[in-house]
Amino acid sequence: MFRIRVRTRSIYSHVREILRTLSVTRPPQPRGTAPTKKRKIKPRHPFDIYEDQDEELRKLAFEDQMRGGKGSMSAMVREALDDYLAKVRS
């Protein structure tokens, strides 16, 4: 009797392999726009969010990674917070 070993790979490993084979270029920064000033990040400041918000952020991060972006949920939250603060202050 023979045993056959089947190696199963996670979806994540398939995605990484696909991303490695694709040559994705990011769009250049538009002319005439100055690079943004680097801001210091405060590490690990906990906030409570709803489960559906977390799921949607994860989906958006994955989609951004598939397009060649960083897929950073933290960056998305920081951008949303900047937009909210600007709206409240105006």
Each residue's pLDDT expressed in tens, for the chain with a length of 90 residues:
555 555 555 667 766 776 666 655 556 666 666 666 788 887 887 888 999 999 999 999 999 999 999 999 999 999 999 999 999 999
For tokens 């769009």, what's the residue? 27
Query: Residues 69, 26: contact at Cβ < 8 Å?
Result: yes
Alpha-carbon span 79 to 7, nearest angstrom: 41
Structural domain contains residue 9: no
Structure tokens at 62: 């994955």
Query: Residues 64, 71: contact at Cβ < 8 Å?
Result: yes
Structural domain contains residue 3: no
Domain with 82 in it: 49-90
Structural domain contains residue 64: yes
The number of distinct structural domains making up the chain is 1
Tell how many helices (H) and how many strands (E) occur in the chain: 3, 0
Structural domain contains residue 82: yes
Structural domain contains residue 63: yes
pLDDT in tens, 49-73: 999 999 999 999 999 999 999 999 9
Structural domain contains residue 53: yes
pTM across the whole model: 0.53
Structural domain contains residue 62: yes
Reference 24, options 75, 74, 64; nearest CA is 64
